[in-house]
Structure 1
Amino acid sequence: MIKIFGKVRYHWQPELTWFIIYWSITMIPIFIGLSLLYERTKIPNSVFFLFAVFIILLSLGFHRYFLIPGDGTLKVISLNPFKPSKIIISEIKKIEVTKSTVTFILSNGKERIFYMRKWPKKYFLDDLALQPDFTGEVELTDHLTKLDYFESYRKDKKALTKS
């Protein structure tokens, strides 16, 4: 959760399989560049190109977040910075929360899974539940692994201060 230009961003990562595939592809250019440096005594130009590709992929990998603008939609910003997807908050039937994931179950039956860290997830769910268009339910499921994690959700809901 980061506040930039007055907007609160709640960062997420995709499903675990896509997460592993993307970050593995992101690391390939830097390792190829380092192996080229190891083979030569001078720095070839391809190393700079591969390092630039690594930096671009790294920045795109961290460009995933939620925005709640207050107009009844939830903007899901992902790898494509030119086309953010939107979820209408009133169409969210259920939100299943586990220790590492947030799953949106929409009224048309579609499911969207996002991986989030503990505290951004808590503030995101609090902010989403306080939206007037939200009529769904939030279900905390942990499969009896760590019950103490969910104690932070049992307290009163409060959104992040908008100062």
Structure 2
Amino acid sequence: MIKIFGKVRYHWQPELTWFIIYWSITIMPIFIGLSLLYERTKIPNSIFFLFAIFIVLFSLGFHRYFLIPGDGNVKIVSLNPFKPSKVAIGDIKKVEVTKSTLTLILASEKQHIFYMRKWPKKYFLDDLALQPEFRGEVELLDNFTKLDYFDSYQKDKKALTKS
């Protein structure tokens, strides 16, 4: 969760399989560049190109977040331009929360799974629950394995300060 230009961003990562594939592709140019560097005595120009590819992929890998602008939608920013980037808050039927994931179940029975850390997930849920359009339910799953983790969700809901 980062506040940039007055907008609060709740960062997430894709499903675990896509997460592993993407980050494996991201670090591949570094290893190829290091192997090219090992083969030669001087630094070839292709190493700089491969390092630039790594920097671009690395920065795009962290460009996944939620925004709740206050117009009744949740904006989902990701790398996939073919997915719809807005979900109406009123269409969210259920939110399932586990220790590492957050699943949005829409009224059309679509499920979207997002991997999030503890505190961005908590503040996102608090902000979502305070929206007047949200009529869904939040279900905490696997709360018997780590009960202390879910104690933070049972306290009073408060949104992040907008100042």
TM-score in terms of structure 2 length: 0.97
Q: Give how far 1:82 is off.
A: 9.8
CA contact (8 A) 1:78 1:84 kept: no
Q: 1:15 to 1:4 in 2, by over 3 A?
A: same
Match of 1:50 in 2: 50
Distance 1:77 1:20 in 2: 19
Return the letter of the residue paired with 1:4: I
Moved over 3 A (4+): 80-84
Mapped partners of 1:66, 1:47: distance in 2? 35
Unaligned runs of 5+ residues in structure 1 are: none
Cα distance in 2, alignment partners of residues 54 and 84 from structure 1: 27
Identity within the alignment, % = 82
C-alpha distance in 1 between matches for 2:83 and 2:91? 20
Change (3 A) 1:143 1:123: closer
Could you state the TM-score of these two structures normalised by the residue count of structure 1? Answer: 0.97
Shift in Å at residue 145 of structure 1?
1.3
Task: Report the counterpart of residue 90 of structure 2 in structure 1.
Answer: 90
Cα RMSD, aligned residues only:
1.4
SS of the aligned residue for 2:75 comes to strand
User: 1:43: how far off?
Assistant: 0.5
Tell me the amino acid that sits aligned with residue 34 of structure 2.
L
In 2, are the aligned partners of 1:60 and 1:79 still within 8 Å (CA)?
Answer: yes
> SS where residue 18 of structure 2 aligns?
helix
